[in-house]
Amino acid sequence: MIRRRYRFSGAVQGVGFRYRAVHAAREAGVTGWVRNESDGTVSMEIQGTEEQIDMVLQVIQQSRWIDIRDIRMKEIPCEEEREFGVKDDWWY
């Protein structure tokens, strides 16, 4: 089990990124969250096996509206949680 924090930039807000991420994550059986950031990027923390995480990323990148130009990734400690969902956006 691993946990990673991702920061996606490009055309990632207003294109269904969070919806697609939640759907893919729940299908893959991973936990974590996704949210929009004030600078136009999207942050995501995701926890599962490397294969599960790769599956989620592939689904997100296959969207016809999402155009990821840069991905930053950092390994972080695992957390105790039960599901994957949308976290309150930066303005809340």
| pLDDT at residue 88, as a whole number | 78
Check if the beta carbon of residue 43 is closer than 8 Å to that of residue 89.
Answer: no
| pLDDT at residue 91, as a whole number | 55
pLDDT in tens, 38-92: 999 999 999 999 999 999 999 999 999 999 999 999 999 999 999 999 997 655 5
Q: Bigger pLDDT: 91 or 25?
A: 25
Check if the beta carbon of residue 60 is closer than 8 Å to that of residue 24.
Answer: yes
Whether the model pTM is above 0.85: yes
- Give the residue numbers annotated as catalytic, written as ranges: 18, 36
| pLDDT at residue 90, as a whole number | 59
Q: Domain 2-76 has what CATH class?
A: alpha beta
Q: Is residue 63 packed enough to be buried (19+ CB in 10 Å), middle (13-18) or exposed (0-12)?
A: middle
Region 19-42 average pLDDT: 97
